[in-house]
């Protein structure tokens, strides 16, 4: 059924993975699928904010994210689970879709971020991925 699963992880928000990770791990175990973890570092670009940051800020941020994701995988992914960790750079919703396509994933597992009443049902990134992904998307809710 599913051979390659992508799990989106926001390392700064435990809600992005605390329920989704066990579900993704169970699917990998049951189906013999590979698990790809992806975290995204937002692009600062040439915005007014970017002018106040050191030139190598994004490079350092990507390196730090890769280290943090490796540590996350070491702590939370059991030995024997096939797959890799990936750091993307850009818009969260678009990078999740790009990663799923380039890694040939056939399932994306996500947990919605709810920040306030404006996102009562599902977070904007999760909603976008659900609407635009070529792959199946499993949304793991925390309620």
In tens, the pLDDT along 45-96 reads: 666 666 777 778 888 999 999 999 999 999 999 999 999 999 999 999 999 9
pLDDT of amino acid 56: 84
Question: Over the stretch 106-135, which tens digit does the pLDDT of each residue have?
Answer: 999 999 865 554 444 567 888 999 999 999
Show me where the domains of the chain are located: 4-139
Give the C-alpha distances (Å, rounded to integers) separating 18 from 8, 81, 112, 117, 142: 11, 18, 11, 21, 9
- Cα 107 to Cα 139: distance, rounded to the nearest angstrom: 11
> Into which CATH architecture does domain 4-139 fall?
3-Layer(aba) Sandwich (3.40)
Averaged pLDDT for residues 11-23: 92
- In the structure encoding, which two tokens stand for residue 79, read together? 């030995």
* Confidence at 38, pLDDT banded by 50, 70, 90: very high
Residue 3 has a pLDDT of 97
Is the pLDDT assigned to residue 27 strictly greater than 50? yes
Compute the C-alpha angle 87/90/92, nearest 5°: 80
Q: Whose CA is closest to 98, among 89, 54, 79?
A: 89
State residue 8 phi and psi, 5-degree precision.
-80, 130
pLDDT at residue number 46: 60
The more confident residue out of 36 and 57 is 36
């Amino acid at each position: 059924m599913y051979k390659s699963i992508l799990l989106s992880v926001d390392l700064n928000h435990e809600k992005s993975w605390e329920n989704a990770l066990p579900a993704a791990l169970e699917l990998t175990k049951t189906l013999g699928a590979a698990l790809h973890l992806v975290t995204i570092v937002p692009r600062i670009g040439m915005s007014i904010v970017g002018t106040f940051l050191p030139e190598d800020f994004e490079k350092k941020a990507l390196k730090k994210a890769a280290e943090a994701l490796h540590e996350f995988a070491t702590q939370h992914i059991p030995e024997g689970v096939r797959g890799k960790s990936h750091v993307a750079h850009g818009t969260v919703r678009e990078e999740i879709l790009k990663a799923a396509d380039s890694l040939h994933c056939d399932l994306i597992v996500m947990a919605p971020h709810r920040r306030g009443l404006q996102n009562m049902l599902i977070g904007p990134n999760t909603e976008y991925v659900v609407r635009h992904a070529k792959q199946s998307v499993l949304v793991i809710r925390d309620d």
